[in-house]
Structure 1
Amino acid sequence: MNDFDKIAAKNKGKITIQDLNGFTMLGKGADGSVFQLSPEKCVKVYVNEDNQKKELYALQIGQSSSVIPRLYEYGSNYIVMELVNGGNLKAYLKKEKQLPKLIAMKILFMLAELQKVGFTRLDTEVRHIFFNELGEIKVIDHKRAMTTVRSVPTKLFTGLKKLGYLDQFLGHVKELHPSIYEQWKKIKLI
């Protein structure tokens, strides 16, 4: 982490991917690249500074929730946040070949938390839902959390359907929270 601090200070709060040679890249997407800084922290370096601002705002708002990664520091094009050590829901479903009631409960808790902190997008993709080594649920990639309005988890449904687990998830929702199930049914999501 000390090396990263020196890089950030030298570059006046702007980081390039080349600056992070020697750090392990955890992932790369359209918005940027994520590198591990320590066993507890990672840094996301953004291609577009506007996307950094959007995600930073969502992370700041979400700090009261256990499902949002901890925010440590940021610069004009990067954010240092909690490293979620664990796998995502997509990998879990492919490996375990089932969606247990406990996982459905955690997903419903996550959706409630997104609403509680004030996000306008109450949805995420299955690949952005992680379970840490303690089995706690965490959600990453929040750049659209405050700019997209979606009160129902359509992306989550699409991902679960593609993997073959939507019916199993909805069966759990019907049992655990019949009112949510009926709400989704009324708006013809299911």
Structure 2
Amino acid sequence: MKKATTFSIILTTLFYLLCGCMGYAAFGNNAPGNLLTGFGFYNPFWLIDIANVAIVVHLVGAYQVLSQPIFAFVEKKAAQAWPDSPFINKDYKLSISSSRLYNINLFRLFWRTLFVCFTTTIAMLIPFFNDIVGIIGALQFWPLTVYFPIQMYIVQKKIPQWSVKWICVQTMSVGCLLVSLAAAVGSISGVMLDLKVYKPFKTMY
């Protein structure tokens, strides 16, 4: 698992650095957010289709993983608030095939469907995807990817304060914090520029 994680992080980092650095080196501030369609042409069409399918597969999986804690939290609170409600707590058996029965909870079905519709509508209302993702990424990168793992590493390895290793990891943490702040500022600036020409439900390239 450790080898797989290390390999995936190195590969992902290399890929993003190549896209970001080469795009900026070639086009500067005019580098498009969408490298495939941002230049105004859509050929070869099969390459665009493959990329879109890959994005859908990636986001569907990520959406499920990130949404499950929200689903669990709301459903737990609802069950605690209304323990006698059959709408919230009762499961119904649904036979889709002769060999298997599925448990259907009406509240779970209704609430999760409503949540997906709501988030999809919000996503369609906000066409400047890159800048929003940039803000979210900047806000979560330093605390979740850098700060907390470093603090856990320091505690686990019992690294003494102000030792060389402690100073090195803390310096790296501060450096990543500055990168996150710069990314957040850039993304917020991009959103403000996008809002000047914003039209709901219209894709922006």
User: TM-score, normalized by length of structure 2?
Assistant: 0.23
Structure that is richer in strand per residue = 1
Q: Normalized against structure 1, the TM-score is what?
A: 0.24
